[in-house]
Amino acid sequence: MSRTGKKRLVAAFMLVLLLNVSPLSVLEKRVVGAAPKADSLPEISSHAAVLMESSQGKIFFSQNGAERLCPASLTKIMTLILAHEALQQGKVAWSEEVTVSQKAWETGGSQMFLEIGQKVPFNILLTGIATISANDACVAISEHLYDSEAVFVQEMNKKAQELGLKNTMFQNSSGLPHPNHYSSAEDMARLAHYMLRNFPESLEMHSQTEFTFNDITQYNRNPLLGRYNGADGLKTGHTDEAGHCLIGTAEQRGLRFITVIMDASDPEERFRDTETLLNYAFRNYALHQIFQAGEVIATANVKSGKERTVDLHLTKPLTAVIPYDRQADLDIQFEIPENTPAPVQKGDSLGSVKVMLDGQALARAPLQAAENVKKAGIFVRFFRLIGGLPGGLWRLITKTWHNIF
């Protein structure tokens, strides 16, 4: 074969390769990378354990996760949520003074040693709850917000119902033992997810390693702080009935996980099991960017528009938490209206894109118009209409028109 013939053969081969690359194939290459084999599921010694990915709230691992157990001081996450919501709604001010009652002073267990009649800023009480699990501060806040702890507990249970916590019932604001005070590891994970999503700034308090009040310095009992990379929360708990409990959270490379351990035999077991869950999570999952912010990824048809289509893009990056060994299995789906009437304004929401795996959505985001599309004039729309008619019908109309005139 001549040199010219060889070049033509190579060119033809390259053309065939190019013609067989679809837009979806290009998209898959953007998320597929070296995929190490996934570790086996973690072995947990504690009675109940849950691993949740924080951005979507998806549970990746659950051991006895729906079983009703004593939550001990994990209860305080709900107390803190109601306190943060009261701040958000303007029902209380950050530095507003709270007067300590005798009931708060009498509350046993872990405490910040409040004194009867003492006036303490609301934010200091919150910090005492978050860092050293102060039971007396829980009662003081509940009475300040709702006049009595009993009414506050009703609000706790109302919030639990709103969040769909089917295995949770509270009897007090602190988690002290009560026969009808219970929750589950999965419910606690969902509660922690709600708190981190709505009040991420609360981690500033939860990550503090010590707390000083009334010249008494106490230390945060969370064993993750300073021992696990990226750990910054969230809450420990312990009673004889509940065993040793821990809601943990850590962030690495933009990826955050939540762990829940309930009814561990000792503090070291709850730390070891939490570490096992976090190691499994960070070794087997990665945060991948599917699309960049502002990137045009689709088009929508515009009915009666000056332009017949409009580009669609995302205002924020679309990311998904993906198992390392499942990246090639992603299914990216677009939901776009068949026709959008003009005019279209830049920023209008026109459908959505979602990332699917095994029939479940890993991420979803709205698609927005990238530019304005004005409505076409009447003559443009008329000529588009007649231009779309079948050729025979158009010839008949033209012939009739000439016969008339």
Q: Which CATH number does the domain housing residue 297 bear? A: 2.60.410.10
Distance CA 204, CA 392 (A): 74
Asked if residue 158 is part of any domain, the answer here is yes
User: 353 lies in which domain range?
Assistant: 292-377
Asked if residue 319 is part of any domain, the answer here is yes
Give the pLDDT band of residue 385 (cuts 50, 70, 90). Answer: low
Asked if residue 396 is part of any domain, the answer here is no
148 is catalytic: no
> What's the pLDDT tens digit per position in 162-176?
999 999 999 999 999
Asked if residue 26 is part of any domain, the answer here is no
What local confidence, expressed as pLDDT, does residue 386 receive? 62
Does position 34 have pLDDT exceeding 50, yes or no? no
What value does the mean pLDDT of the chain take?
A: 87
- For residues 129 and 247, state if they share a domain: yes
Does position 398 have pLDDT exceeding 70, yes or no? no
- For residues 279 and 358, state if they share a domain: no
Which residue, of 265, 285, 305, is where some domain finishes? Answer: 285
Q: Which of 73, 110, 173, 184 is catalytic?
A: 73
- For residues 143 and 272, state if they share a domain: yes
Q: Which of 76, 110, 202, 207 is catalytic?
A: 76
What local confidence, expressed as pLDDT, does residue 25 receive? 26
- For residues 64 and 181, state if they share a domain: yes
Q: Which string of DSSP letters, residue by residue, matches 162-215?
A: HTT-TT-B-SSSS----TT-BB-HHHHHHHHHHHHHH-GGGHHHHT-SEEEETT
Mean pLDDT of 333-355: 92
Q: Which of 54, 55, 110, 133 is catalytic?
A: 133
73 is catalytic: yes
- For residues 205 and 84, state if they share a domain: yes
> What's the pLDDT tens digit per position in 84-96?
999 999 999 999 9
> What's the pLDDT tens digit per position in 49-104?
999 999 989 999 999 999 999 999 999 999 999 999 999 999 999 999 999 999 99
Tokens 């912010």 correspond to 293
Distance CA 270, CA 261 (A): 6
- For residues 186 and 316, state if they share a domain: no
244's tokens: 């040793």
Beta strand residue intervals within 294-374, DSSP E:
296-303, 309-313, 318-323, 331-335, 340-341, 349-357, 360-369
Which residue, of 229, 253, 285, is where some domain finishes? Answer: 285
What local confidence, expressed as pLDDT, does residue 234 receive? 97
> What's the pLDDT tens digit per position in 229-255?
999 999 999 999 999 999 999 999 999
Asked if residue 385 is part of any domain, the answer here is no
What local confidence, expressed as pLDDT, does residue 12 receive? 39
Asked if residue 218 is part of any domain, the answer here is yes
- For residues 275 and 330, state if they share a domain: no
157's tokens: 């249970």
- For residues 312 and 331, state if they share a domain: yes
- For residues 208 and 333, state if they share a domain: no
Total domain count, the chain: 2
Give the pLDDT band of residue 384 (cuts 50, 70, 90). Answer: low
287's tokens: 């945060």
- For residues 281 and 296, state if they share a domain: no
What local confidence, expressed as pLDDT, does residue 29 receive? 22
Q: What percent of the chain has pLDDT over 70?
A: 83
What local confidence, expressed as pLDDT, does residue 283 receive? 95
Is the preceding peptide bond at 234 cis, omega within 30 degrees of 0?
Answer: yes
- For residues 243 and 127, state if they share a domain: yes
Asked if residue 174 is part of any domain, the answer here is yes
158 is catalytic: no
